[in-house]
Each structure stands twice: as structure tokens, then as C-alpha cells.
Structure 1
Amino acid sequence: MKIWVDADACPKVIRETLFRAAERTGVDCIFVANHRVPVPTRTNIKSIQVESGFDVADNEIVRLAEKGDLIITSDIPLADEVITKGALALSPRGELYTKETIKARLNIRDFMDTMRSSGIQTGGPSALSQTDRREFANHLDRVLAKR
């Protein structure tokens, strides 16, 4: 199992949680972004910088992820693609996406996108809360314990 991180929008506190988990378990953790992501000097923690562009980092994660890997992302279409490949997907807010839930999440995302494009202000996501951080850490620990 490897952990692939959609690092373009991954909050710093979540990156730090992932660093600690990788150091504790020895699992490979790879941060993929279109900018430089500083990571600790460890053999199992890496950063891949891809070209700038729409979905370039997402496409690289889909290309490299394998069945059983864990992908950290808040990008619903990316989560759907990696779940289809047999990987797991976990949001930085601690939501574990599954085959059973991802289609509904895609529908909500598409609906909200339609609302925004029609001029309705929907606002962005709320700030990452302590509960979100705890949920993320708990789900991460459960996934790593199962490996």
C-alpha cells in the first residue's frame, strides 16, 4: 500500500499528520502537486512536482495509483476514478469515500457546480475544524491498521 496525496490543496495540518503516520508505519507517502511541496527527508516520503495545468496532478495520481493504495483528496472526480481502480479515497475532512457513496457525492458536486454557473452564490467549504482533523486521523489510522 502507498498513500498518494493530492497536495495542490491539502491543508498543512493534514500533511503533517501524514508525515507522522508515514514515519510511524513506514508506509510510502507521495505528495503530488504542480508546485514544490516540502517534505521531511525520509526514504518513504516523497514529493512529485508535475506541470501546471488543469487536472495534471490528478491524472498523475490516477496513472500511478494501484489497487489497495490510499488516495488523500477532496476532489470528488479524482476519488471516483481511483475507487474504480480499486484504491481507497479519504478526504482531508475524514470522509472515507466508497463505491456506495461516491456517485451521490458526484451528483451533489455537479448540482452545486450548476448552481454556481447560473450565478447563485453557494460559498466555499468551511474551515477545517478540530472534528475534521480528528476524523481524518481516525480514518487514516484504521486504514493503516488494516494493511
Structure 2
Amino acid sequence: MRIFIDADACPVKDEVYKVADRYGLTTTVVSNSFIQIPASPRIERMIVDAGPDVADDWIAERTEPGDIVVTNDIPLADRVLKAGGAAIAPNGRVFTADSIGQALAQRSIGEHLRSLGEMTGGPKPFDRQARSRFLQALDEAVNRERRKRR
């Protein structure tokens, strides 16, 4: 079991490091540019080429059953689920086989409305409650995947 962070603009990297350390998990921080990471043998940095979906492709190609991916990217979450992994957004939203179809549809509708010039608003501001939801969701995902391995 590993944790991958889709790290560009991810506000919960420090939280992931703490949870991963508690469970002795390897974490790979994937980004298009240099991101500072703590000195730890269990935290790896992977800098991929710039470009659309390069980091997403790198993560999706390496995700195995039991891995956990932290991402806001809904198409990446879909690919992770299809590979047998778990996907969690930084706000604590857990993507599941039952919810990913609706998430993809909402994303598509939003893109279509924006292409028509419609103002759809952005994400809610990241706050303490979102951070707390994320920590709870990540801890639950780690424990769920650990139970599957027993």
C-alpha cells in the first residue's frame, strides 16, 4: 500500500506525511515542478514533465489495488478507482465506484457551461473543517485498505 499525492496545488501534503508516517507507508509526491518534501526514506519526490495530464498519467499508470491517491482531479480519481485504488480529494471527498459517474457528469456540465461563458464559481475556500474531513477520510481509507489485506 502506497500513497500518491497529485501535489501541484495540494493543500494537505503535510497531513498526508503525518498519516503515512503513523502507518509506515511510502508516499510519492508527484508534480510538474520542484516541491519541498521532508527528509524521510518513506517520502519520494517525482517531478514529471510539464503538460496536461502528465502527472495524472504517471500516477494512474503506477496505481495498484490498495494504493491511495490524493487528488482533486476527477478523471484521475476515476482511473485510480478502475485500477483498484482509493481516491480522496483534499477536502475529504471520497470518490467511490458509486459516486464517480456523477462527479464526472458534474465536471462535464461545468466545463460546458464555462465554454459558453457562464460563470460557475470556484471551489469553496479551504478551511479547518475541510482539513479535518480530509484527515478522517485518509485515516479511514488506510484502515479500510489494511483490513482488505488481512
TM-score (normalised: structure 2): 0.94
1:101 pairs, out of 85, 88, 99, with: 99
2:45 pairs, out of 47, 65, 89, with: 47
Partner of 2:76: 78
Question: 1:30-85 CA deviation, whole Å, 9 max, x = no partner?
Answer: 11000111111111111100010110000000111111100000100000011011
Count, aligned residues = 145
Question: 1:75-121 CA deviation, whole Å, 9 max, x = no partner?
Answer: 00000011011110000000110000000000000000000000001
Partner of 2:7: 7
CA distance in 2: counterparts of 1:18 and 1:37, whole angstroms: 15
Partner of 2:131: 133
CA distance in 2: counterparts of 1:106 and 1:136, whole angstroms: 20
Q: CA deviation at 1:145?
A: 2.4
Question: 1:6-42 CA deviation, whole Å, 9 max, x = no partner?
Answer: 001211xx11101111222210111100011111111
Partner of 1:124: 122
- Tell me, yes or no, if structure 1 residue 35 matches structure 2 residue 33: yes
Structure 1: runs of 5 or more not aligned: none
Letter in 2 for 1:125: P
Q: CA deviation at 1:124?
A: 1.1
SS in structure 1 of the partner of residue 133 of structure 2: helix
CA distance in 1: counterparts of 2:113 and 2:49, whole angstroms: 30
Structural mapping, 1:61-76, within 5 Å: 61-76=59-74
Letter in 1 for 2:62: L
Letter in 1 for 2:7: A
CA distance in 2: counterparts of 1:8 and 1:64, whole angstroms: 18
Letter in 1 for 2:84: G
